[in-house]
Amino acid sequence: MKVEMRIFDEKFRNNKVRYLLQCSLATLFIFILLLFMGASSNITVIVALGASSFIAFTMPEAQVSRPRFLIGGYLVGIAAGCLGHHLSVMPLLTQLPIIQEFPNVVFAALSVGIAIFVMVITNTEHPPAASLALGLVLHDCNTMTIMVLLLGIMSLSGIKAVLRPVLRNLL
């Protein structure tokens, strides 16, 4: 039996322009977002939106790329992350033995678990949104971060909707 190893996806050979176009669109979206936000203002936002851009521009026909999942997942991730952040700074809770040692760790893990649970029961699964919940506990959950996240994910969803006729699944 002969095993053949290919470095490049077979679909790439016949769709080079499409691959370049869609990856360039994702790059442009992140570039514009970074210009408005500042490259290092909040790494949580940048990382989550970068992962969502990958999904939106390489798998535009996938369920996880639909507005319900992009926006809904982010709403759940933001809610779980902010809940975890606020719990992690509550004096009453941070005095408990195991929490006292590692409040951010406990509430970051809890926020991811809550985000995953709520996403699966509401049918809004979007993996970058679970990481968003984690980042909001470890970094900070403030109004500006939430506004940028919501504006970013709604912009991504809107751009994807406008470009829907030209986007195809690359994976």
Query: What's the structural domain count of the chain?
Result: 1
Looking at the domain assignment, is residue 168 inside a domain?
no
Instruction: Answer yes or no: is 131 within a domain.
Output: yes
Rounding to the nearest 10 degrees, give the CA dihedral for residues 32, 71, 111, 128: -50
Percent of the chain with pLDDT over 70: 95
| Residue 167: inside a domain | no
Residue-level length of the chain: 171
At 4, the pLDDT band (50, 70, 90 cuts) reads low
Look at residue 76 and tell me if it is in a domain. Answer: yes
Considering only CA atoms, which of 146, 134, 129 is closest in space to residue 104? 134
Mean pLDDT within 53-61: 96
Residue 83 structural domain: 11-162
pTM of the model: 0.89
CA 129/CA 107 separation, integer angstroms: 16
In a domain, 171, yes or no: no
At 70 the pLDDT is 97
Q: What does the pLDDT look like over 132-141, one tens digit per residue?
A: 999 999 887 8
The tokens describing 64, both together, are: 């996880």
